[in-house]
Each structure stands twice: as structure tokens, then as C-alpha cells.
């Protein structure tokens, strides 16, 4: 009889739990955060370039007392890929949900691809949405970003070499944006984008998969009362050490945003 | 006899407490929701000013403008001044009217520029204008949508029972029309 009661209560609790949670299916955040290749369209060298230099920018180079005083520290560049039409995805919602950049100093580049029936591992590039965070838009206008895009992604050299190489074009564009942020927004005297691009060129087809955190964060949101019940349950497990085991088993390292917001300042083409 | 008195006094007290609590809730809720609308209005004005300032710089760069373009530029210039003055004077109705004039002219200007490629200096300038125009349109649209959702909450709050009893003197806000922002923009390519 007791078992039946417990079972009944368990079923009721589970129903409430499932009803209260909403799985974050919007566009799952990757554990690497700065690079989110859901279309599986990029080479590991491109992903590593973005992961490495975006981490360095956010965690090290933007942390300067002067920038902190000006409240412009914590710039983040995030690159994501998506299969589908640009209109099928709300990048502002994704930007704000991920909290890209501290002090609203974030930039999101969302590349859109169409499935390729001939080769499912090489989707076709169809366009890009560039979205600039609220404060960053005061330092980097869409006009300037478009200028950088034309000089890099649409550089005349791509008429003869790397014609359909969106990895190379993205690397070129990304490095130019880095240069703009380092030298025009922050006060770095120089940024050797040429050397960086040369290095990318030499290593474009090397494998860097092991150097980038893999997988996606499965984000499930609960109502406050569920968190209360979970906390109470956790406390009851404290004695047995089970509570700490929960953390140990879920302790996966991942990067995250700085709480930045976008006011919808974006451009797609 | 005494018992009846207690019942009456008790009932009156209960009703008074209920009415008082509802009144306080309605008054505080109105203030809170109204503040949200005011804040959202400020955000829309800031986005519009930002847009006019940035796009104004491109307009200055347009050379050899033909008569049609010159007439748009004059309209935009006059309306920009009027918009800034209206925001300064907190005359939001006038500010909105001027914003409508400017944005309608912007859209016309973009279409005219597409038809007259000789009226701008370089492809970069044209592409930059399109990028800035489109991005600032998205930003303004986003802030207007936020404003409208606050207006909707405010209007529903003051017009529904029981709040309507205490807030009948409050005027609902008008939704900000997106006429000049949600039209399909010309594409570059």
C-alpha cells in the first residue's frame, strides 16, 4: 500500500516537474560558446581560430583597468552556423539569451546554410546575419562592419582563389574584425592580422578538434518551486554525500557569455 | 442586537480593507506600468535619434543629387530638427509625427537611390548605407515592439476589472505604428 502511495506521489511530482520545465530548444549553446557550428559547415581550424582568439580577447586582452573605467571591457565575438533561411531564426533572441559580451560589448555572426543534396557534409552558404550589442554599436557601426565585410569576404582575390571557401572567407573577415576591435576600440598599437592569416592559411587543413570543447549545453529551465524542491532533496542527500556527487558528475567545463544585450541592431545579407 | 452590530461593522471593515487593497494595487500597478511605457518611449527616441544621426552622415556624402533626392534630403533635414526639438520639449505626439515623416522619406530615399546609382559615390558607400539603414530599422523596430508590448500591458491593466473602477480617469496609450519600419527593404546583391 505504501509503495503504491509513493509511486502515485512520484508520478504526480514527475508530471509537475515535466510541466514546469521548458527545454531550451531555441538554439543550444555550445560548450565552446564562441563557436557554435550547428550546421557542421566549418573546418576544425576555423573553429579553433575563433575559439582561441575570442577566448583571448574576452578573458585576457579586454581586461584592462582603462577599459573597465570606461565600461567597455569584456568584448566577445561569437560565430554560429545554422541550416535554414535567415528569417527562420531570431538572432536577437539568441544574442540576449546567451548574453554575448560584458557591458553589452558583444558581436554575433550567424552564418546561414542550405542543405546540399550532393554532399551533406558541405552545406551551401546562403548569407550571414551580423548583430552588434547595445554598447558595441556605439564603437562599431554596421556601416563599418559592412566595409570590413566587403574588403574581406568579398575581396576581389576570391574571384580566382578560394572561390567557394567560406572557411577562408570567414577567417579573413573574423581576423579583420579582431583587428578593428583591438586597434580602434581598445588601444592596442598594432595587431598583426597578416601574420595570423598566413598562419591560418598554412594550417587550414590541420585537425584541431581536441583543442575545442565539444558538445552542447542542455539547458532546462524550471520554475522557482522546482528549484526549491531540488534544493531540499539535495540537502536530504547531503549526509550520504550524494548531493556532492551530483555536482561532480555534472561538472563539465564550458565558456559562457557576460550578460550582454542586443537592441536588435542587425543586418542580414 | 449587539451581535448584528458586530456583523455589520465586521462586514464594512472587511469590504473597506478589500477596496483599499484593490485601490492600492491599481494605483501602484498603474504607476509601475506607466513608468515602463515612459522608459520604452525614451528607448525608441534614443534609437530614432541614433538612426537619424548615422544616416545623416551618409546623406551628406551623397553627391550629384538630383532634384527628387534633394527634396527628400530637405524634408529629412527639416523633420530631424523638428524631431529633436519635440523630444527636447517632451512633446511626444509631435516627435512621433516628425519620426513618421523622416522614416517615410528614408524609405523613399532608399528606393530612389536604388533607381539612381549615380547619386552616390562608391559601391561601398551604397552598401554601407543599406547596412546602416537596415540595421537601424531593425533596432528601431525592436524598440517599438518593446514599447508596444508595455503599452499593451498598461492599457489592459487600466481597462480591466477591478482596476477600471479606480483608474477610469487614465487614458490608454496609442500603439506605435510600424508602417515605415516593417516594409520589405530593398536588397543589395
Whole-number mean pLDDT of chain A? 84
Q: Where are the domains of chain B?
A: 2-166
More confident of the two residues B167 and B126 = B167
Q: What is the pLDDT of residues B91-127, one digit of tens each?
A: 777 777 888 887 777 777 777 666 666 555 555 667 7
Q: How far apart are CA A46 and CA A57, in angstroms?
A: 16
Residue B6 has a pLDDT of 87
Q: What residue of A is the nearest CA neighbor of B50?
A: A138
Global confidence as pTM: 0.77
Flag whether pLDDT at A57 surpasses 90.
yes
Question: CA angle A203-A205-A209, nearest 5°?
Answer: 95
Most A-contacting residue of B43, B128, B129 (CB-CB within 10 A), to test interface: B128
Work out the number of other CB atoms within 10 angstroms of the CB of residue A158: 16
Q: What is the pLDDT of residues A139-189, one digit of tens each?
A: 998 888 998 999 999 999 999 999 989 999 999 999 999 999 999 999 888
A143 touches chain B (CB under 8 A): yes
Flag whether pLDDT at A248 surpasses 50.
no
A92 touches chain B (CB under 8 A): yes
* CATH for the stretch A35-214+257-268: 3.10.310.50
Q: How far apart are CA B174 and CA B6, in angstroms?
A: 49
Give the strand pairing for A76-83 and A106-114: parallel
Residue B57 has a pLDDT of 66
Residue A251 has a pLDDT of 41
Residue A7 has a pLDDT of 57
Size of interface A-B (CB pairs under 8 A): 57
More confident of the two residues B113 and B37 = B37
Residue A246 has a pLDDT of 46
DSSP-based three-state secondary structure for A166? helix
* Chain A residues lying within 8 Å of B127, measured CB to CB: 146-147, 150
Q: Which of A95-104, B41-50, B95-104, B168-177 has the lowest mean pLDDT?
A: B95-104
Closest CA to A126 of A115, A135, A118: A115
A67 grid coordinates: 577599459
B4/chain A closest Cα distance in angstroms: 44
Residue B188 to residue A143, Cβ atoms within 8 A: no
Q: How far apart are CA A113 and CA A130, in angstroms?
A: 15
Residue B143 to residue A264, Cβ atoms within 8 A: yes
* Chain B residues lying within 8 Å of A143, measured CB to CB: 54, 58, 128-129, 131-132
Flag whether pLDDT at B83 surpasses 50.
yes
Amino acid at each position: 500500500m505504501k509503495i503504491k502511495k509513493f509511486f502515485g506521489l512520484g508520478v504526480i511530482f514527475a508530471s509537475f516537474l515535466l510541466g514546469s520545465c521548458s527545454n531550451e530548444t531555441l538554439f543550444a549553446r555550445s560548450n565552446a560558446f564562441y563557436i557554435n557550428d550547428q550546421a557542421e559547415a566549418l573546418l576544425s581550424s576555423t573553429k579553433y581560430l575563433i575559439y582561441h582568439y575570442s577566448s583571448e580577447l574576452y578573458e585576457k586582452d579586454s581586461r584592462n583597468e582603462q577599459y573597465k573605467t570606461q565600461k567597455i571591457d569584456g568584448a566577445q565575438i561569437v560565430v554560429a552556423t545554422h541550416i535554414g533561411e535567415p528569417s527562420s531564426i531570431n538572432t536577437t533572441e539568441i544574442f540576449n539569451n546567451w548574453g554575448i559580451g560584458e557591458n553589452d560589448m558583444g558581436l554575433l555572426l550567424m552564418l546561414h546554410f542550405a542543405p546540399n543534396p550532393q554532399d551533406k557534409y558541405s552545406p551551401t552558404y546562403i548569407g550571414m546575419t551580423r548583430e552588434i550589442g547595445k554598447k558595441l554599436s556605439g564603437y562599431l557601426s554596421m556601416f563599418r562592419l559592412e566595409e570590413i565585410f566587403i574588403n574581406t569576404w568579398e575581396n576581389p582575390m576570391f574571384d580566382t582563389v578560394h572561390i567557394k571557401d567560406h572557411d577562408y572567407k570567414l577567417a579573413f573577415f573574423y581576423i579583420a574584425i579582431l583587428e578593428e576591435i583591438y586597434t580602434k576600440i581598445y588601444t592596442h598599437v598594432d595587431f598583426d592580422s597578416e601574420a595570423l592569416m598566413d598562419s591560418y592559411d598554412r594550417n587550414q587543413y590541420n585537425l584541431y578538434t581536441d583543442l575545442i570543447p565539444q558538445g552542447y549545453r542542455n539547458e532546462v529551465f524550471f520554475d522557482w518551486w522546482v528549484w526549491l524542491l531540488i534544493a531540499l532533496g539535495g540537502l536530504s542527500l547531503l549526509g550520504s554525500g550524494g548531493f556532492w556527487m551530483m555536482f561532480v558528475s555534472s561538472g563539465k567545463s564550458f565558456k559562457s557569455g557576460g550578460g550582454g544585450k542586443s537592441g536588435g541592431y542587425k543586418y542580414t545579407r | 442586537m449587539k451581535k448584528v452590530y458586530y456583523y455589520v461593522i465586521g462586514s464594512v471593515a472587511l469590504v473597506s480593507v478589500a477596496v483599499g487593497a484593490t485601490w492600492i494595487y491599481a494605483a501602484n500597478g498603474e504607476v509601475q506600468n506607466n513608468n515602463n511605457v515612459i522608459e520604452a518611449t525614451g528607448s525608441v527616441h534614443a534609437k530614432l535619434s541614433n538612426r537619424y544621426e548615422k544616416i545623416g552622415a551618409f546623406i551628406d556624402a551623397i553627391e550629384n543629387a538630383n532634384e527628387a533626392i534633394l527634396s527628400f534630403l530637405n524634408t529629412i533635414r527639416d523633420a530631424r530638427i523638428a524631431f529633436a526639438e519635440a523630444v527636447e520639449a517632451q512633446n511626444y505626439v509631435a516627435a512621433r509625427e516628425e519620426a513618421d515623416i523622416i522614416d517615410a522619406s528614408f524609405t523613399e530615399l532608399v528606393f530612389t537611390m536604388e533607381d539612381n546609382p549615380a547619386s552616390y559615390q562608391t559601391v561601398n558607400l551604397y552598401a554601407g548605407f543599406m547596412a546602416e539603414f537596415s540595421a537601424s530599422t531593425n533596432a528601431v523596430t525592436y524598440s517599438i515592439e518593446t514599447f508596444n508590448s508595455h503599452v499593451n500591458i498598461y492599457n489592459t491593466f487600466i481597462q480591466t476589472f477591478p482596476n477600471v473602477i479606480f483608474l477610469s480617469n487614465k487614458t490608454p496609450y496609442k500603439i506605435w505604428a510600424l508602417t515605415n519600419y516593417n516594409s520589405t527593404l530593398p536588397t543589395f546583391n
